[in-house]
Structure 1
Amino acid sequence: MNFRRPRVDEAGINLTPLIDVVFLLLIFFMVSTTFDRHADIQLQLPAADREPVAAERAWIDILVDATGEYYVDGKELVNRRPETLERALEQAVSERPGDPVLIRADANATHQSVVTALDVVGRLGISAVSIATIGRSPDAE
């Protein structure tokens, strides 16, 4: 008589595929989530109480009017081409070397005309350049 029982493997749940899927979902959500905390930062920017003191300096003045015309030291240029502006600015720099350049542009001037003036100033190697603005009135806020 054979009293041995046949060996039966117990059925079980294999968790390896489930763990793989959970880890893949975790990685997917970690990669695709953005942590934007810019809205949480509260800054109070400093304000100036006094008007800036006007310095007595000689400037090479580049004026850009609303139509995009250029003026160098009050003299209108014959056209709007960058080469013309470059020649006029070279002449002004040769007459007054070392003077900084001030770009004054009308509020309605195109962005391209101001960038062209800045590009010409950069090509001439002038590093002392400023852009003139006017102060905003307290009523405008």
Structure 2
Amino acid sequence: MKFRRRQSEEPEINLIPFIDVLLVVLIFLMLSTTYSKFTELQVTLPTADAQQLKERPAEIIVAISADGRYSIDRQVVEGRSVELLTSALQQASQGRQEPVVIISADAATPHQAVVNVMDAARRANLPRLTFAANKPQ
């Protein structure tokens, strides 16, 4: 009798099914992941770092308070409608050559209040707009 030792075969690991399973799991995770919503963004506005202009063009400063009240060139506008803002901007722009409307809004101002000023400036044919901001510290 001949007793021979069996040669042990080394186990072979087949990676192809493993890779297939990982790809399926990856696709599942990509499809089921929820992305952060825009309402969850922490935004602190406004700050900007810009050089001051050497020559100042004709300016119409529109200030918007945190509760949405308006003043144009330091005169309070009674009411909050776009039509009232349009007439106040037209009156403020009389006698000025290509005035720039500077929107100076509080950081807590509702977005709609700023959009109302932009719409009123468009209706009053004042295409040059800019925003006032604080310099970052």
TM-score, normalization by structure 1:
0.57
State the shift of 1:56 in Å.
Answer: 3.8
Code of the residue aligned with 1:62 in structure 2: it is: V
Alignment gaps of 5+ in structure 1: 1-32, 34-49
Give the match for residue 136 of structure 1.
Answer: 136
TM-score between the two structures when normalised by the length of structure 2: 0.59
64 and 54 in structure 1: CA distance in 2 versus 1, 3 angstrom threshold: same
Give 4+ residue runs of structure 1 displaced > 4 Å after superposition: none
Does 1:105 pair with 2:105?
A: yes
Q: Which has the higher contact order (CA 8 A, sep 6+)?
A: 2
Are 1:86 and 2:96 an aligned pair? Answer: no
Shift of 1:54: 3.9
Structure 2 unaligned segments of length 5 or more: list them. Answer: 1-29, 31-48
Greater shift, 121-130 or 73-82, is seen at: 121-130
Bigger Cα Rg: 1
| Cα distance in structure 2, aligned partners of 1:103 and 1:118 | 9
Report 1:1-141 matches (<5 A): 52-57=51-56, 58-137=58-137
CA distance, structure 1, for counterparts of residue 109 and residue 54 of structure 2? 27
Change in CA separation of 1:54 and 1:111 when aligned onto 2, cut-off 3 Å: same
One-letter code aligned to 2:125: G
- Offset of residue 51 of structure 1: 5.9
Task: Give me the whole-angstrom Cα distance separating, in 2, the residues matched to 1:53 and 1:67.
Answer: 29
For the aligned residue pairs, the C-alpha RMSD in angstroms reads 2.1
Q: 2:104 and 2:119 mapped to 1: Cα distance?
A: 15
CA deviation profile, 1:91-114 (whole Å, cap 9, x unmatched)? 011132322111100001100000
